[in-house]
Amino acid sequence: MIRLTERQEQILKIVQEQGPIIGEEIADILGVVRATLRPDFALLTKAGLLEARPRVGYYLAGKQIPSQAAEIVKELMIKDWMANPVVIDENVTVYDTIVSLFINDVGSLYIVSDGGILEGVVSRKDLLKIVLGQADIHKIPINVIMTRMPNLVTVNADDTLWNAAKKLVEHEIDSLPVVKPTFHNGHEGLEVIGRITKSTITKAFVELGYNVIKLKCD
């Protein structure tokens, strides 16, 4: 059994808590230069306690570490990918909503009140149901059939695209309104500032593929 020095035990603890971590960062934490730790790293890796990967750093042997692709995914932010929201007034008729849906070529529309405050959402499925029900779509306002707040799933611009994708899958929906808190006419609400759709995720996935290929080539 290998007898570790106090410094080697400290290295293992640092890697356990912060790994993967590069040698220079470990040296800074311990207050020494990188060269001082070279024998320690050699012993710990030879003993099978640590593993190292270029451009990643040291990590505990046998521990799954994030791939470069996973790291890229975590860096994709909603604010960099969101599209302009397509919104309609809550008093618009179902007929006009259907027209707006096709003109803008979207799967869902966000219904807002004064100040752009999010009140609800309506999808193609919702509109198809009301049409098949033979209701007078020229007279029924969209707020009668929309899904209302607070039963909406939303995201904010500073969230990750990964979390947005999880919400789309978990809730089986086509899009997410990107919102920010606001105050209008004495009331708190959510202003719609963008949208994230399944198409957004697909575009991000394609770009991710290009980035991974570039990393491999580098």
Least confident stretch, 70-79, 151-160, 193-202, 208-217 = 208-217
Residue entry with tokens 């193609």: 124
Q: 15, 17, 20: which is closest to 55 by C-alpha?
A: 20
Percent of the chain with pLDDT over 90: 53
Domains (ranges, CATH) in the chain?
A: 6-65 (1.10.10.10), 75-205 (3.10.580.10)
Residue 143 above 50 pLDDT? yes
Residue 58 CA to its chain's centroid (Å): 27
Instruction: Indicate the pLDDT class of residue 114, thresholds 50, 70 and 90.
Output: confident
Q: What is the pTM of this model?
A: 0.63
The one-letter code for the residue type at 153 is: V
Neighbour tally for 26: CB within 10 Å: 22
Using DSSP's 3-state secondary structure scheme, residue 88 falls into strand
What rounded mean pLDDT belongs to the chain? 86
